[in-house]
Structure 1
Amino acid sequence: MGVIRKVLGTAVVATGGGAAYLTATTNITTPLPTDDEIWATKSFKKLNRFQNPVVEDVCWKRLPLSQVRPELRNDEKALATEFCRGLWAGYAYAPQRIILTLALKNPKTENQLFDQKQLASSKYELGTRFSDHFEVVERTNNSIMVRAGGSPLEPGPRDMDGLLVASAKVDKAAGTVDVSLKTTFFNSVEPVRDGKKPTPFVAEVLHRFYSRAMVDNAARSLTG
């Protein structure tokens, strides 16, 4: 996964001190249900055309709607956008954000978002590119899907391709909102015959703690 592989450990170490807290306050579901929406999306079908093995999970957190900022409570689109801002502008992504900025910000990527202020204010419309590793490829009323695993300037197949989905779903009857970060990683270059996933198990574990930190941080940005 290029630079992400190199900085994932750094990011996890930076947030690892709160591992017990994150385990208690966020949830991980893996594997994803067979009827999960992501399997039917245009992007997943196109990128994982070989139906290769997938690293799959969703990290989610449930918040009382009463704790969510009033201007967001009745607007799932606004909630999803603000949650996405919290993911990429928050402390959990900070080490990776800084390293990718130093390594990849240059004249060729001048139209992409890199710094915290840009990521905290973006509307994450279709085609938005950031950190030279992510691009918004689909949007619904309550979700934002980005492609990961390589530079948007090189849109071809990748040995470590991926789709991340940030979403916010309100249950008015229960008075809650579920926010989540869904992840799928796979090889989009060629068929995988031996059933091998694109990352070792240890990397999966580290990734899930990283997701927990990002989700917890982003959820906090919706309250107050």
Structure 2
Amino acid sequence: MNALRPWLGASACLVVAMAAVAMPAHADAVDTLREFVRDVKTGRADFTQTVTSPDGAKKKVSTGQFEFARPDRFRFAYAKPFEQLVVGDGQQVWLYDADLNQVSVRGMSGALGATPAALLAGKSLDQDFELSAQPSAQGLDWALATPKQKDGAFQSLRVGFRGKVLAAVEIVDGFGQRSVLEFRDMQTNVALGEQAFRFVPPKGAEVLKQP
């Protein structure tokens, strides 16, 4: 199994360290994040995810499509370099690795917590995160979300907006692995069928239940 895996529950995370000149923090970055969570009920976007190992020596780039519907329903469909699917149906989180024909499943409460999916598709920011505005960089306004649970899987998450449009999520996990998830063609409050957030294990797939 590759050490740099997509993020969520049993999977790993997202990020790229980009050099940029720091600019004064925009005070409304946190407000923009709060408005996103309050007003955007559904969303769909293409993404590119870059994962960098703690020593910076290894990088992995993945692409796919992301969809979500509040509360707690989301779908990450990774297409390249290998097919993988992460689906949160509101009660459970399913991770399907097509190459291994293997499915991991765990309860939503145990899988979500202070994760990127909770930040983007959850119901409450303040329950799990401390929020603060960050300096603008890379043409984006950034809000920092620090998990209140200090022994969780993530050290910090930064959310970048271009105006009011969600553009990127940057993460440092508990092992120092850095990731960035860059969104393209973000569509908000679009009609998404319930089928997008349902998962049935393929025939013959090994299903591993996690606590």
- In the superposition, the TM-score normalised over structure 2's length comes to 0.31
- Normalized per residue, which structure has more strand? 2
Instruction: Name the structure, 1 or 2, with higher relative contact order (CA <8 Å, separation 6+).
Output: 1
- Normalized per residue, which structure has more helix? 1
